[in-house]
Amino acid sequence: MKQYNDNIEMFDAYLTGMMSDNDRTAFEKMLAEDMELKREFQEHKEFISVLQATCSEADAEFEQALKNISEENMRSIVAENKVQQPQAEEKPKEKVVPLRTVYRWMSAAAVVLLIAGVGIHLLQSRQAINSRYDAIAMTHDFNNLNTDDMPVSRGVGSVPQHQMRAQIKEYNEAMELLENDKTKDAIAKLEKMYQSEKTDKKIKEECEISLAFAYVKNHDIDNAKRFIGEVKNEKGDKMPLALMNLEKALSE
């Protein structure tokens, strides 16, 4: 929880321009290197954006409502809710709460309710979005590779059969991690295999597709789109059909 609160304070300092130039540079470097932190930052920006828009709308409605209430009516409302003192006692001088105080009370209550409502709305929206990403990820079968089913690679990018078997084993370990919802660990393994020059070209093609869908399974859409874009730039029309369909699904 402390780490989460520290991150929120850091996000707000960055968004409000309260960071020094050195801190801002260091924070931007952290965002570039830590995808989980970047995801939290993006969600926080979305929350702030929706909150500001909702508050602006509510503030306008609140201001209009106040214009429809005369100061005399407001004083009457406040006075009617005061506790009546016994007749035998000297009636104290009537004290009327200043309108600005009443407005402040009302505004504070409205903001509390507003934040709670926006929080629930954002949570429901985020859950709906994540459910959509989960559905997209499920369209891909994270199946194990079988040595006998893999065609022999030839030419550039091919490796001896014993190395291919070792790489297939490593790939299948990543699939097992995905099956057990250890998505981040699976992504790290797939990224390592994909980036290695020693990985057989056929296995690398399998990594290519599974890695893109693993990003989606992890709700890391920025990385999924970035990765698909890199493959598209490299292969053009020869990009795997699965990635073409994934790109289209993420753009809808």
Say if residue 37 is in the same domain as residue 118: yes
Number of structural domains in the chain? 2
What is d(CA 74, CA 102) in angstroms, rounded to the nearest whole number?
A: 9
User: Looking at the structure, do residues 143 and 203 belong to the same domain, yes or no?
Assistant: yes
Q: Are residues 126 and 243 in the same domain?
A: no
Amino acid at 95: K
Do the domain assignments include residue 161?
yes
68 belongs to a structural domain: yes
User: pLDDT digit string (tens) for 48-100?
Assistant: 776 666 556 555 555 555 555 555 555 555 555 554 445 555 555 544 444 44
Q: What is the pLDDT of residues 108-164, one digit of tens each?
A: 555 555 555 555 555 556 667 778 888 888 888 888 888 665 555 454 456 677 888
Same domain, 159 and 237: yes
Distance between first and last Cα of the chain: 35
| 125 shares a domain with 155 | no
- Dist CA 228 CA 213 (whole Å): 10
**Does 127 share its domain with 160?**
no
183 and 213 in a single domain? The answer is yes
| Last residue of one domain, picked from the residues 103, 131, 159 | 131
Which residue range is the domain that position 54 belongs to? 2-83+93-131
Angstrom distances, CA of residue 104 to CA of 82, 95, 107, 171: 19, 18, 5, 61
